[in-house]
């Protein structure tokens, strides 16, 4: 199966899901489980070469010990996992043990050309829950998905939409000079933050907004406070749209169905987080139905809207799971040119059991290191964490004080 232009671009990136386990499985147990599991998700037997996807491979299984973690709670342990374990394979399972006990983690990493965040998260949840679905979930290449839409024309969000604000665009300062000159290899740190889903949903229902609007406000608030923004500004938020429901396919269908749509906003000294959330929701309701399919088509063909987003926070959605599932994304081979920017992104997911008895909010805040200095990382993490854990109080805060 031939890769689309966008899938070829995604071949240098990966999506990862990780789960904490009281007792980690052995390599033999993983291998035995995969014999049946790959019949449900055959995408796990895929590899990429010469611009094509082939189905003649097997997942790599790697065992690794991450050391003594006796001083870490579960969330901090998952931070250590997602900041130290990396894959260069198309499909890889990591069995991560600890020196101090039998607990550990399982991490599943897939090339982003093969699937996206919601699916890698659900695959891992099904795997650890021994959930054997009855229906095989086949992969459909992006080109075939787009062809089935029978749409000969498409349009991108216009440049005028992003230049309509009276305020200058927010500028995130470059890395500190000593970090720009650093010879340290670039890598991604994944900082895990847990949150109460129900309290955030309560606020969202009250305001008639979706969680993405709330999360976008949390991200922009954290950015403003971290860079000490004092003057009015405009900003572009990337909204990663899961287009499966728009193209009428199986919600578990692997491939990358995320089609980013962008929302432009203006912020002044009177703008509160509540104001910002309501604005984001209104723009999403207008821009997403209008452009998400067109953007899916355009991205597949290698055409992109003229937008430069400063906020990249993604609501992965609900993962049906009895365990907290942590989702992360990033490049597998980071180019040296990336050192010139403070690269950061966040993925938030809700793990929820089928009977509704369990739910957990899991956020992974990812920072390009060493480009993002420790003070900036700490400030971003503390601000977002506070926002997620205090949703009612967060409505009143202003981005510019």
Domain of residue 102 covers: 5-142
CATH number of 47's domain: 3.30.559.10
**Please, which pLDDT band fits residue 152 given cuts at 50, 70 and 90?**
confident
Do 26 and 169 fall into the same domain? no
* pLDDT at residue 247, rounded to an integer: 83
Residue spans of alpha helices (H) in 231-320: 244-247, 273-300
**Please, which pLDDT band fits residue 325 given cuts at 50, 70 and 90?**
very high
The last residue of one of the domains, among 116, 142, 168, is 142
Do 105 and 166 fall into the same domain? no
Q: Flag whether pLDDT at 357 surpasses 80.
A: no
How do residues 41-67 score in pLDDT, each as one tens digit? Answer: 999 999 999 888 999 999 999 999 999
Mean predicted confidence (pLDDT) in 263-284: 97
Do 121 and 171 fall into the same domain? no
Do 114 and 243 fall into the same domain? no
The count of domains in the chain is: 2
Residue length of the chain: 401
Do 116 and 245 fall into the same domain? no
**Please, which pLDDT band fits residue 174 given cuts at 50, 70 and 90?**
very high
Q: What DSSP assignment string belongs to 305-343?
A: -S---SEEEEEEEEEE-SS-EEEEEEESS--GGGGGS--
Mean predicted confidence (pLDDT) in 103-110: 97
CATH number of 340's domain: 3.30.559.30
Q: How far is CA 277 from CA 98, 209, 212, 307, 397, in A?
A: 41, 7, 9, 20, 12
Do 128 and 216 fall into the same domain? no
Better pLDDT: 372 or 332 = 372
* pLDDT at residue 245, rounded to an integer: 83
Residue 224 belongs to some domain of the structure: yes
The last residue of one of the domains, among 113, 142, 171, is 142
Q: Flag whether pLDDT at 385 surpasses 90.
A: yes
Do 136 and 163 fall into the same domain? no
Do 161 and 277 fall into the same domain? yes
CB 146 within 8 Å of CB 7: no
* pLDDT at residue 133, rounded to an integer: 78
Q: How much is the pTM? A: 0.94
Q: Flag whether pLDDT at 259 surpasses 90.
A: no
**Nearest-angstrom CA–CA distance, 192 and 401:** 28
Do 53 and 194 fall into the same domain? no
Angle between helices 117-128 and 27-40 (to 10 degrees): 120
Q: Flag whether pLDDT at 307 surpasses 90.
A: no
* pLDDT at residue 253, rounded to an integer: 84
* pLDDT at residue 364, rounded to an integer: 98
Do 123 and 187 fall into the same domain? no
**Please, which pLDDT band fits residue 82 given cuts at 50, 70 and 90?**
very high
Q: Flag whether pLDDT at 130 surpasses 80.
A: no
Q: Flag whether pLDDT at 356 surpasses 80.
A: no
Preceding omega of 370 cis (within 30 degrees of 0):
yes
Q: Flag whether pLDDT at 132 surpasses 80.
A: no
Task: Report percent pLDDT > 70 for the chain.
Answer: 100
Task: Report percent pLDDT > 90 for the chain.
Answer: 77
Do 273 and 222 fall into the same domain? yes
Q: Flag whether pLDDT at 159 surpasses 80.
A: yes
Mean predicted confidence (pLDDT) in 194-204: 97
Residue spans of alpha helices (H) in 41-152: 74-84, 117-128, 142-148
* pLDDT at residue 392, rounded to an integer: 98
CB 193 within 8 Å of CB 388: yes
């Amino acid at each position: 199966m031939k890769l689309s232009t966008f899938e070829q671009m995604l071949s240098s990136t990966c999506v990862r899901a990780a789960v904490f386990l009281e007792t980690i499985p052995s390599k033999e147990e993983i291998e035995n489980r995969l014999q049946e599991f790959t019949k449900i998700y055959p995408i796990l037997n895929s590899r990429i070469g010469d611009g094509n996807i082939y189905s003649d491979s097997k997942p790599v299984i790697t065992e690794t010990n991450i050391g003594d973690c006796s001083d870490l709670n579960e969330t901090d342990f998952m931070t250590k996992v997602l900041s130290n374990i990396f894959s260069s394979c198309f499909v890889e399972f990591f069995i991560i043990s600890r020196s101090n006990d039998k607990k550990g983690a399982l991490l599943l990493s897939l090339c982003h050309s093969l699937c996206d965040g919601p699916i890698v998260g659900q695959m891992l949840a099904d795997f650890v829950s021994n959930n054997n679905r009855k229906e095989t979930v086949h992969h459909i290449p992006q080109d075939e998905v787009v062809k089935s839409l029978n749409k000969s024309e498409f349009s991108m969000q216009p440049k005028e939409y992003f230049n309509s604000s009276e305020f200058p665009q927010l500028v995130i300062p470059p890395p500190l000079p000593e970090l720009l000159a650093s010879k340290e290899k670039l890598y991604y740190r994944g900082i895990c933050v847990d949150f109460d889903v129900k309290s955030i949903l309560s606020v969202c229902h009250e305001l008639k907004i979706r969680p993405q609007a709330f999360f976008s406000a949390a991200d922009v608030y954290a950015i403003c406070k971290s860079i000490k923004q004092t003057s009015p500004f405009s900003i572009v938020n990337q909204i990663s749209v899961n287009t499966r429901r728009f193209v009428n396919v199986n919600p578990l269908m692997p491939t990358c169905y995320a089609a980013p749509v962008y929302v432009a906003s203006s912020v002044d000294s009177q703008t509160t987080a509540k104001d910002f959330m309501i604005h984001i929701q209104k723009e999403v309701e207008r821009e997403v139905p209008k452009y998400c399919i067109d953007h899916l088509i355009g991205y597949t063909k290698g055409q992109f809207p003229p937008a430069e987003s400063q906020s990249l926070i993604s609501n992965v959605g609900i993962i049906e799971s009895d365990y907290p599932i942590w989702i992360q994304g990033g490049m597998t081979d980071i180019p040296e040119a990336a050192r010139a920017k403070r690269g950061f992104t966040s993925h938030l997911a809700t793990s929820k059991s089928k009977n509704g008895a369990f739910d957990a909010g899991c956020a992974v805040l990812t920072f390009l290191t060493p480009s993002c200095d420790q003070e900036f990382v700490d400030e971003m993490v503390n601000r977002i964490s506070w926002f997620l854990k205090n949703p009612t109080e967060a409505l009143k805060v202003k981005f510019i004080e």
